Structure 1
């Protein structure tokens, strides 16, 4: 845990006592802050009340004149659709509103400003890239602390080691919600992968969303930006005009990019690095080409050699729920891309295979799947689940894409396997790819995308293991 000594003796209000909120309470308590905490959940409040120095108080009853800062959970609305009541109270009292990333930034600035801090954001691919660069750096011998919006909350990571931090590196995935609560975000390496319409219910417009994302690279010592979409490319251009050093990266043959990946071959202008992505099974598809290009650009800021980078790329095992190979057998390849919660992410997954049986649906996001039209010819059949099923069916029907309205993930997987077995028996294919890439949130049927992906993995495992057990019993 990172104790927040920069808030010693100060009065801090905390609203939202989930995972990141509790980590903030523990870090503030360890640093000697005076803390008022509240959450709509009585159960969460009861847990928080056990932390030394924490007073549970409905913040509507607090004396805001005595409060120095409001630490807000990233899940609580700051601006859209309207500010949370705690935000309005803080604003009316002139109290700054910050989040856990900002707390980390201030403690780093105080204790160890030269400590390597890699911050990664983007609409899609940030989790994979965070895990990938963490893996590459670990392989090269660095003490990597990975967290933030992926896995461990940032303040629960190991503290600054007090020895100059030459080998300890913080690799942090940062969401737009967290950036919005981190006005002083100043990573030593900042990466913006890409931008497409997402979370507009919380940011209002794509323009506002892009401005928030741009803050991560605006104050970075080393700014690395994907230039495969116009919003990110414009951010890169604007930073260059201001005199910032920017390394552009691309998943395609883009001459503007310092690291690019034409036709699946990673190329770096700076050192002639060349790598065939076919050697990295966990990095299928053009979207992973951009992720890999980003990881190479980051690794180069740590002066890693081409052989060290290639070793890390080849040995990377992938990220759970993101183009994760969860089963291979009986003539099938099963891919769990449950983290593909919007159409842009699903497009990247569909683009990784020439033909797929596609399981899609859930709680729809703005735009539906209209943006996937260019990938419809890759779909042998779509198996639709959840609330979005009817809308997706209408779009697919308009474009002549075969589909089945299955309702649930279990029925969808059963139907996809049955159709695939028929196709193989008829000699239509040697191997069938069944892809779960929902293009939707999971909340209509599952608590989160992880639970949805776990359910898919479990059913795939049951299917693959059942026949093998039967065969072994027959052989006996």
Structure 2
């Protein structure tokens, strides 16, 4: 835990007592703040009270002596409407911040020289975060990794010289971190997501841009137009910028091409790493992830040859293009983290013969944007609420079956793939949907896929990869 001492002996209101909210409340209390917590869930309030945290309905407290409202990232700040606790804080002139902001303030106070690599983007940020952390550890460095991935940022170890922080930041967290000042800031890409919380694509992009705008070195993916514009804007502001790409050559920057990683300066390219044969970095999207991680470590002046060697041992990220089993020619791929069409596109682009399991709670636009990948799909097996809508999109273009549930979809896919004589077949869970119709989160959806694969007849003879 990192005790938050920047509010010692001050009153702090905190709303939102999920995982990161509870961690933040504990850190504030440990640092000497008079923190009063609340949540709209009575069960969460009772849990906090049971831990010895002070709880009270924030509608009933005196806001005149409150120094800050600390908001959990899942609580609406602006859209579709500000949460009632936000309105109370604004009416009282109280600043509204989140856990990443508290972390940054504490790091500046304790050890400003401790490197912070902060990563954001619509897709790829979790894999890139895991890859950066893996590379740093392989090079023998002291690494703490957390934020929007796994461990809440205030549950990490206390800043000290030589300790490297690799922190994934969601748009919600950036919106609540006005002084976020990473040593290296990475912005991967932009596609429509979370627009219900940000109001428009322009607002969403502007929030993402804050992370790299506040960093000492900005690494920006330029495979999409909006992100490329961010890189141009930062360069005009004389910010050190390294462009990265997974889908095209660059004259300046780091890019992936046909399983190789290149560094370019003024049009002169040199190969710096080979990605071919690394299953965890298969596909153009992982080329961009590898380029981002390589650029981050180079920005920290670490040797290129050692970075390239360390990439070969990257195990990949659970639920993101995760090879969970191989049975002869058939790969079983868990890509449950693909909760929108753009994320699913990255998986579909990575294989040539696909039996696709898709569906869940659909996001805006459905899967119509994936039509360029339809020729790769031998058959689709649909689950969850989106099944009927996805069936309409696929009708007459891709064979499909409404399987309904995950176990049935896996059984159906295996039965169809058994009749296929392709050299390599991917049974791919890449839902292009949120999980909340059938599962509490994408992790449990991915676990259900893995369980269904392991329950198959003859599964004992399969090669377990994960």
TM range (shorter): over 0.9
Q: Residue 298 of structure 1 aligns with which residue?
A: 296
Distance 2:279 2:457 in 1: 21
Does residue 183 of structure 2 align to residue 188 of structure 1? yes
SS in 2 for 1:5: coil
Q: Deviations 1:202-241 (Å, cap 9, x if unpaired)?
A: 1111111000000000110010000000110001111111
Counterpart contact for 1:252–1:263, Cα < 8 Å: no
Change over 3 Å in CA distance of 1:256–1:98 after alignment to 2 = farther
CA contact (8 A) 1:361 1:439 kept: yes
Q: 1:465: Cα distance to partner?
A: 4.8
Aligned positions, number: 459
Work out whether residues 12 and 67 of structure 1, in 8 Å CA contact, stay in contact via their aligned partners in 2.
yes
Asked if the contact 2:406/2:452 (under 8 Å) is kept, the reply is no
- Provide the rounded CA distance (Å) in 1 between the counterparts of 2:222 and 2:403: 38
Structure 2 residue ranges without an equivalent (≥5):
none
- Per the TM alignment, residue 464 of structure 1 is displaced from its structure 2 partner at its CA by 6.4
Alignment of 1:359 with 2:370, yes or no, is no
Aligned match of 1:225 in 220, 226, 229?
220
Query: 1:141-181 CA deviation, whole Å, 9 max, x = no partner?
Result: 111100000000000001013xxx12x10000000010010
1:255, distance to aligned residue in structure 2 (A)? 2.0
Contact 1:248/1:256, CA 8 A, preserved across alignment:
no
User: Contact between 2:353 and 2:422, CA under 8 Å: does it hold in 1?
Assistant: no
Q: In the alignment, which residue of structure 1 is the partner of 2:3?
A: 3
> Which one of 391, 403, 422 corresponds to residue 400 of structure 2?
403
Matched, 1:417 2:409: no
| Cα pair 1:327 1:464 within 8 Å, conserved | no
Equivalent position of 2:73 in the other structure: 74
Residues 33-66 of structure 1 show CA distances to partners (whole Å, capped at 9, x for unaligned) of 00111012222212222445x3211000011111
What's the secondary structure of 1:49's corresponding residue?
A: helix
Q: Please tell me whether the aligned partners of residues 227 and 257 of structure 1 are also in contact (alpha carbons under 8 angstroms).
A: no
Map 1:106-121 → 2, pairs under 5 A: 106-121=105-120
Paired position in structure 2 for 1:474: none
Q: Deviations over 1:266-305 (max 9, x none)?
A: 0013694422211322101100000000011001012222
Q: Report what 1:134 is aligned to.
A: 133
Partner of 1:85: 84
1:34-49 mapped onto 2 (5 Å cutoff): 34-49=34-49
Q: Is the 8 A contact 1:250 1:257 kept in 2?
A: no
- CA offset digits 1:355-389 (Å, max 9, x no partner): 10000000000010111011111100010110001
2:193 maps to 1:198? yes
Bigger mean CA deviation after superposition, 93-102 or 301-310: 301-310
Alignment deviations for residues 1-33 of structure 1 (CA, whole Å, 9 cap, x no partner)? 101111101110000011001111111011100
Say whether the 8 Å CA contact 1:442–1:448 is kept in structure 2. yes
Mapped contact 2:274–2:308 kept (Cα < 8 A): no
Spell out the pairing of 1:206-225 with structure 2 (5 A cutoff).
Answer: 206-225=201-220
The residue aligned with 2:425 is 432
3-state DSSP of counterpart to 2:312: helix
Deviations 1:414-445 (A, max 9, x none): 1100001122xxxx323321000000000000
- The gaps in structure 1 that reach 5 residues or longer are 470-476
Deviation, 1:104, is: 0.3
Are the equivalent residues in 1 in contact too, given 2:79–2:198 (CA < 8 A)?
yes
Residue 436 of structure 2 aligns with which residue?
A: 443
Task: Write the distance in 1 (CA, Å) between the matches of 2:428 and 2:251.
Answer: 33
Partner of 1:338: 336
**Aligned twin of 1:473:** none
Q: Is 1:329–1:464's contact at 8 Å kept on the other side of the alignment? A: no
Could you tell me whether the CA contact under 8 Å between 2:223 and 2:248 is conserved in 1? no
Q: Name the structure 2 match of 1:285.
A: 283
Structure 2 Cα separation of the partners of residues 225 and 104 of structure 1: 23
* TM-superposition CA deviations, 1:41-98 (whole Å, max 9, x none): 222212222445x321100001111111000011111111101000100011111110
TM normalised by structure 2 equals 0.96
1:380 counterpart residue number? 378
Asked if 1:22 is matched to 2:22, the reply is: yes
TM-score (norm 1): 0.94
- RMSD of the alignment, in Å? 1.4
In structure 2, do the counterparts of structure 1 residues 34 and 274 end up closer, same or farther at CA, with 3 Å as the change threshold? same
- Tell me how far apart the structure 1 counterparts of residues 229 and 251 of structure 2 sit (CA, whole Å): 13
